[in-house]
Structure 1
Amino acid sequence: MKKLIIAEKPSVARNIADALGIKGRKNGYMEGEKYVITWVFGHLLQLYDVKDYDETRKSWRMENFPFIPETFRYKIKSDPRNKNKVDEGAEKQIGIIKSLMERDDVEGVVSATDYDREGQIIADEIFLYTETSKQVERLLLNEWTKDEVLAGLQRLCPNSDLKPMQDAGFGRQLADWLIGINLTSVATVKYRNANHDQVLNIGRVLLPTLKIIYNRDKEIESFQKSKYYKLIAPFLTEEGEIIEALYMEKDSEKFEDQSYLETILDKMKGQKGLITEKEVERKKEYAPYLFNLSNLQGFITSKFKGWTSEKVLKTAQDLYEKKIITYPRTASSVLDESLKEKAAKVLQAVKRGMPYEEEIKFSDSKRIFDSKKVESHSAIIPTYVLPKNLTPDEQIVYEAVRNRFLAQFLPVSESEETRLVIRAEGAELPGTFTAKGKVQLVEGWKKAESVSTKEVMMPPLEKGALLQAGELAVKEVVRKPPKHHTEKTLLRVMETCGKSFEEEDSEEMMMAILSGFSIGTPATRAETIRKLKDVGYITTKGKSLLCTQLGRMMVETFPVKELFDLEYTGRLEKTLSDIEKNKFQQQDFLEMIKAFTAKSVEAIKGDKVFASKVSLPDSVEVLGMCPECGNPVIESEKAYGCSNWKNGCRYAIWKDDKFIESLGKKVSPEMVRLLLQNGRVGFHGLQSKKGNRFSAYLHYEKDPQKGFYSWKLEFID
């Protein structure tokens, strides 16, 4: 009797066949004495479309939604080039798998798809669809090397043991179908005229990710330019060596008043400085943690041009299927403690020939091996299989993974940092001067990652030494706005659901990531970013990600606000993680999603503001765009208001505004234009109730609880 093994891809099936010594290939499968091996191509099945349940719902009509099936059903997936046709390749392979399952000499089935939610249901869909009665076992592997395949086949477990993972996988799939199908359909129909028949994609993970990018764009736009000053003071030793110091008061080198620093500069001309303190500290710098998928994607996309997170995932997946690295779709940055022996074997293989080979020593440090910080899959590392004939892209990703692995077993990087405190001699100053120097003593792991360290050499000076002040200079520093998100920074925010941590890659951050409270999963984030571009919600400028006008309109006026709430989305993702850990029931999760879907559909149907585009004659002067609905703001007899007032938008600034009049000013078209363009408008010569004159910026802000706009003052010094 034989067992039928179902792999996720033909390449993985070939890896299993190689391990078992099975040669040759038949029509859709391979066969040996004990095993028959076949494969899928990802999902061969898909959930029914709405029209498959009811032909009368074929066209998208508002009254057909919400649509929530009593029982969800599956069909062979559609041809990607023609949605009305069945994918012939999928149909053929399903037929082959079904016939192999029904063979009399096949006693059981082994699911050998990827060990994650998606991999679990790729095979489980087939078992439900074919209604097989034969025993199903699970092959759970983190890599496809020969040793692992053979060992894994000896420790098969019942597929039923993976029921929580199956529940989480199907729960995610059904939730995304319910939200995506219902809200996308209703939103597209509702706002069709405004968006020129464009499909408005609504998704559980798509929209909160858009909100992250929107928030950063708005932060940059509202950034108020400012500057500070610092006093740079070169001191000369008796030998003529220069030490650059900064003037500091209350542990800060930043000063708002330039003239104040210039008085300090004048006092120091021709003066000497006395070293009153000398601190020398030897500092250790540990190697960064091993890569999880998000960190690998961020590392590659920030370092190499032309890379996207999706491209990194695809390349890493190819390396995994070639048996060269371990499973890439992981959130963990350390290894399970059971992998110590395997890691030592890998280390022996991959360190050979490296210029720093002699410095590499195996260690079972908790920074590398800690089972408490592993969720399902360990961090990404190379396998003992050394690569041959890699493509240039594969070489980049493989070397990043290999070098990060080797870095763990090189010495800790050490440097010596010197800090001098210099007090002015002959001039009474409230502050002191601080100079710092750094010398790299042990390069250590930085050799593996080619990390260069900027050294600032410090002459051999001691406390009590006198130094001559050189040409001091006051330097102006302009505070810069935050930078637009890149794929690297966006992935980090998605991974931590917007939460920031004092130290990047800290243990606290690691445990937060593993809790499941995130936007999407390691496997889906790259696809989410790509989809945001494809549907027109974001665009790219170099490596920067920016909201489009459509994306901004979605965030600002789309009526289902929960979908933009990072906290809400994080809770949903954590619930799926809890289902996988058997801490929450799938049915309760789906009831919550069904209620949310029904409520959201009604909110869209009743909306009167979002995307109602108003066309105006060329003769009408447009002062700016309405912050409520994105339509033109124009002048009327009594106000400057939104042209979309017929559809319910009430944004208006009244010409006889009493508050503005109380300040001695009048609402004018130019004032409204500046306000809409910059989010504020500045005035000099405003008058208080007591008759005092002052300058201020005026903001016109909406009270989120009461729903109306009012003026806010920001005084100008």
Structure 2
Amino acid sequence: MILYIAEKPALARAIAAVLPKPQYKDKGFIRLANGDVVSWCIGHLLEQAEPQDYNPDYKRWQTTHLPIVPQKWQLKVRKSAEQQLNVLKKLLKQADSLVHAGDPDREGQLLVDEVLAYCGVSGARLATTQRLLISDLNPPAVKRALNQLKPNKDFVPLSTSALARSRADWLYGLNMTRAYTLQGQKAGYKGVLSVGRVQTPLLGLVVRRDQEIANFVSKPFYQVVAELETADKQRFTALWQPSAACAPWQDEEGRVLLKALAEKVQQKISGQPAIVSKLQHKDAKQAAPLPYNLSALQIDAAKRFSMTAQQVLDSCQQLYERHKLITYPRSDSRYLPKEQLKQAVKVCDAIAANDPDLAAAVQEANTKLISKAWNDSKVEAHHAIIPTEKRLPLTRLSVAEQRLYQLIARQYLAQFYPPFCYSDAMVELTIAGGCFIAKARTEKAAGWKQLFRRDNIAEPLDKQADPAMQQAALPPLQQGQQLLCTASQLLEKHTQPPQAFTDASLLAAMTGISRYVKDEAVRKILRDTDGLGTDATRAGIIELLFKRGFLQRKGKQINATDTGKALIAAVPAQASLPDMTARWEAALNAICQREQSYQAFMQPLIAELSQLVHQAASVTPSGLPQQNTRQWRGSKSPATAKRGGGRRKAGNRATTKRN
């Protein structure tokens, strides 16, 4: 008997649907016509044991107990999953061979592996266990995956990495949360001050942004615009570029702060000849944006529809599991395997059938074009989020599901459109000894951008260009040509404070967290890894900070509360910066690549944790609100209920557990 163990019932049903019939459905499994069985987990059937499971004294939070470090790690059965685990135990004893069908990511690998280990599956049977990787629940895709089984032992490093992360987050989140909550109680605070490897650096990011805005003092700066005319009366403008001699009167971004200096330039150039000192023309192409991964989709949906990260994830889970209209949604990849090109025509046809608004776009798509998205070397366990071959009218979906499907479909169709082609022109002029520059961009072929313009969501041509420098077109010019500066303008502008975070910009900051790191080595790690958190966990981390009362919304803005500010002020800098996460992710990736051992990651972490806990005992947080907030009661510590690094999957819907 072959036993297939899926991560969730929805995946199990999708597997069974393409296997021998008739089938017999029982509690917790489906028996196939040939005697094989498909069963499932309900997300995580097992969870890390609580501190009091190791020692009853740990039920009471005391500084003297910290740090709590298990000598022998224990897992325990989730109460709601006990029945299903018993089903799997019986089936595992009967099975001749096993097929692991967890979700195609690090957490999905561990989820089933830990069940096999807990149930005492022998080493010999583990050695022959096969891995089934499914990212599309429709029958054709499931059949293809079943014909591409891989040895599960090849994924041991992935599972070990997930285990290391899970235990490390347990250690860090539990001990640091207890340490700072106890210190908060000394200051009269009755709530939980949760600390996590990802949640706390993210909170620190918001707190520091709020401080920058509060402390910001606007300063005026000045620009000079020259109005130019050719001999045949064609006109354009150019922007003054201050020379090195102006540096004493400029800020760090090169803006001129001294009005008198700008006024002097303005007065000098009016009515003077302007010599074309440099000309540049460059034809260029811009490839279509890559298909979405989860974070990119969440950012776009937040910008266009004001959807939160969690709303996007929840709707995507419905599109994937219930409607089977998109591929695996928790993907961190924006690339596709070349093998998937074989389904391109069917996928495009399904898009046209599902959404009449995109039918014209499908007609104009050329599935023979191969964009840079099709790259086997950049596809690992899962690929970008794309539509499936399933046909289902969008009218049967919720508004949120319709919007997300349309975003995903349009981004996929863009891969079959030619590049956007344009020509950039730049002219440098010398006027009264000063340098002035004008730029223009001329569109030559809309390419993939026409796909977005239909819905008025095209990106600006040049988001970085100063409006005073960028214009639609420049007249024909020649180097050395003399023009006339007919007039000049002095523009007074004011420096602007950084903008408060929104759902979109906070997600973008998490994915591009390297921008906020000064250490170049750490920046490189963060650029090469997932950033802060992972695609699968970011929504849950943000929601957790709201639930803890550390963040609040004011319209679209996200700000830190007094509690959040007080916590960041109390924790050491290393706990509120992403540097530690960067080191962890580098080590966890090294475990995945068989370049580092589990022990080499855990031992220094435990040593560092002892120092951090000792440091916490000497800090009493200040500025905490004194209202009698709801105090935690019960046998399960809040640190283990919401902590620092992975996700718990329950039922048919995966939810974030830690970070």
Residue by residue over 1:329-361, the C-alpha shift from the partner in whole angstroms, topping out at 9 and shown as x without a partner, is 333322344544445664565478334633534
Distance in 2 between the 1:590 and 1:267 partners? 67
SS of the residue corresponding to residue 202 of structure 1 reads coil
Identity of aligned residues (%): 29
Answer yes or no: is 1:475 the counterpart of 2:482.
no
- Alignment check: 8 A CA contact 1:46 1:76 kept: yes
Distance in 1 between the 2:527 and 2:241 partners? 42
How many angstroms does 1:7 deviate by? 1.8
Report the equivalent of 2:566.
553
Q: TM-score, normalised by structure 1?
A: 0.73
SS of the residue corresponding to residue 531 of structure 1 reads helix
Unmatched 5+ residue regions in structure 2?
A: 247-253, 354-358, 462-469, 627-659
Distance change (3 Å), C-alpha of 1:130 and 1:440: same
Residue by residue over 1:432-455, the C-alpha shift from the partner in whole angstroms, topping out at 9 and shown as x without a partner, is 544333332211111223315569
How many angstroms does 1:254 deviate by? 5.0
Report the equivalent of 2:444.
441
* Structure 2 counterpart of 1:430, one-letter code: G
Distance in 2 between the 1:614 and 1:154 partners? 59
Distance in 2 between the 1:590 and 1:148 partners? 39
Distance change (3 Å), C-alpha of 1:120 and 1:248: closer
Distance in 2 between the 1:160 and 1:530 partners? 35
Distance in 2 between the 1:28 and 1:398 partners? 32
Q: How does 1:49-68 map to 2 (within 5 A)?
A: 49-68=50-69
- Alignment check: 8 A CA contact 1:497 1:567 kept: no
How many angstroms does 1:466 deviate by? 7.3
- Alignment check: 8 A CA contact 2:335 2:384 kept: yes
Match of 1:485 among 476, 491, 501: 501
- Alignment check: 8 A CA contact 1:374 1:514 kept: no
Question: Which piece of structure 1 moves more, 159-168 or 239-248?
Answer: 239-248
Answer yes or no: is 1:383 the counterpart of 2:388.
yes
Answer yes or no: is 1:589 the counterpart of 2:590.
no
Answer yes or no: is 1:177 the counterpart of 2:170.
yes
Q: How does 1:239-318 map to 2 (within 5 A)?
A: 242-250=235-243, 254-266=255-267, 279-305=280-306, 307-318=307-318
Q: How does 1:543-692 map to 2 (within 5 A)?
A: 543-558=556-571, 560-605=572-617, 607-611=618-622
Distance in 1 between the 2:625 and 2:120 partners? 55
Match of 2:411 among 404, 408, 411: 404
Distance change (3 Å), C-alpha of 1:430 and 1:275: closer
Report the equivalent of 1:319.
319
Distance in 2 between the 1:362 and 1:580 partners? 36
- Alignment check: 8 A CA contact 2:158 2:592 kept: yes
Answer yes or no: is 1:121 the counterpart of 2:89.
no
Distance in 2 between the 1:202 and 1:614 partners? 18
Answer yes or no: is 1:394 the counterpart of 2:398.
no
How many angstroms does 1:412 deviate by? 0.9
* Structure 1 counterpart of 2:130, one-letter code: E
Distance in 1 between the 2:477 and 2:290 partners? 38
Report the equivalent of 1:626.
none
How many angstroms does 1:268 deviate by? 5.3
Q: TM-score, normalised by structure 2?
A: 0.79
Distance in 1 between the 2:9 and 2:144 partners? 21
- Alignment check: 8 A CA contact 2:320 2:327 kept: yes
* Structure 2 counterpart of 1:6, one-letter code: I
Distance in 1 between the 2:623 and 2:243 partners? 55
How many angstroms does 1:285 deviate by? 1.9
SS of the residue corresponding to residue 187 of structure 2 reads helix
SS of the residue corresponding to residue 417 of structure 1 reads strand
Distance change (3 Å), C-alpha of 1:390 and 1:510: farther
- Alignment check: 8 A CA contact 2:292 2:384 kept: yes
Q: How does 1:137-152 map to 2 (within 5 A)?
A: 137-152=130-145
How many angstroms does 1:232 deviate by? 2.9
Report the equivalent of 1:19.
18
Residue by residue over 1:604-651, the C-alpha shift from the partner in whole angstroms, topping out at 9 and shown as x without a partner, is 33x144349799xxxxxxxxxxxxxxxxxxxxxxxxxxxxxxxxxxxx
Match of 2:202 among 209, 223, 231: 209
Report the equivalent of 1:458.
473
* Structure 2 counterpart of 1:55, one-letter code: P
Distance in 2 between the 1:453 and 1:499 partners? 23
Residue by residue over 1:550-576, the C-alpha shift from the partner in whole angstroms, topping out at 9 and shown as x without a partner, is 222222222x54322422221112211
Distance in 1 between the 2:222 and 2:531 partners? 40
- Alignment check: 8 A CA contact 1:121 1:166 kept: yes
- Alignment check: 8 A CA contact 2:361 2:451 kept: no
Distance in 1 between the 2:113 and 2:527 partners? 25
Answer yes or no: is 1:357 the counterpart of 2:363.
yes
SS of the residue corresponding to residue 369 of structure 1 reads coil
Distance change (3 Å), C-alpha of 1:532 and 1:471: same
Residue by residue over 1:184-239, the C-alpha shift from the partner in whole angstroms, topping out at 9 and shown as x without a partner, is 22332233142532111121222122222233233334444222212234446788
Match of 1:100 among 85, 91, 107: 91
Distance change (3 Å), C-alpha of 1:564 and 1:7: same
Report the equivalent of 1:682.
none
Report the equivalent of 1:69.
70
Distance change (3 Å), C-alpha of 1:248 and 1:495: closer
Distance in 2 between the 1:193 and 1:345 partners? 64
SS of the residue corresponding to residue 354 of structure 1 reads helix
SS of the residue corresponding to residue 148 of structure 1 reads helix
Distance change (3 Å), C-alpha of 1:460 and 1:359: farther
Distance in 2 between the 1:270 and 1:576 partners? 65
Q: How does 1:153-168 map to 2 (within 5 A)?
A: 153-168=146-161
- Alignment check: 8 A CA contact 1:220 1:482 kept: yes
- Alignment check: 8 A CA contact 1:519 1:573 kept: no
SS of the residue corresponding to residue 536 of structure 1 reads coil
Question: Which piece of structure 1 moves more, 273-282 or 408-417?
Answer: 273-282
How many angstroms does 1:162 deviate by? 2.1
- Alignment check: 8 A CA contact 2:189 2:625 kept: no
Distance change (3 Å), C-alpha of 1:510 and 1:479: closer
Distance change (3 Å), C-alpha of 1:438 and 1:74: same
- Alignment check: 8 A CA contact 1:120 1:166 kept: yes
Distance change (3 Å), C-alpha of 1:338 and 1:583: farther
Equivalent pairs, count: 588
Report the equivalent of 2:3.
4
- Alignment check: 8 A CA contact 1:415 1:440 kept: yes
Distance in 1 between the 2:625 and 2:554 partners? 30
How many angstroms does 1:48 deviate by? 1.5
- Alignment check: 8 A CA contact 1:47 1:74 kept: yes
Report the equivalent of 2:119.
130
Report the equivalent of 1:516.
529
Answer yes or no: is 1:534 the counterpart of 2:517.
no
Unmatched 5+ residue regions in structure 1?
A: 78-85, 502-507, 616-717
Match of 2:423 among 416, 433, 440: 416
SS of the residue corresponding to residue 92 of structure 1 reads helix
Distance in 2 between the 1:514 and 1:28 partners? 43
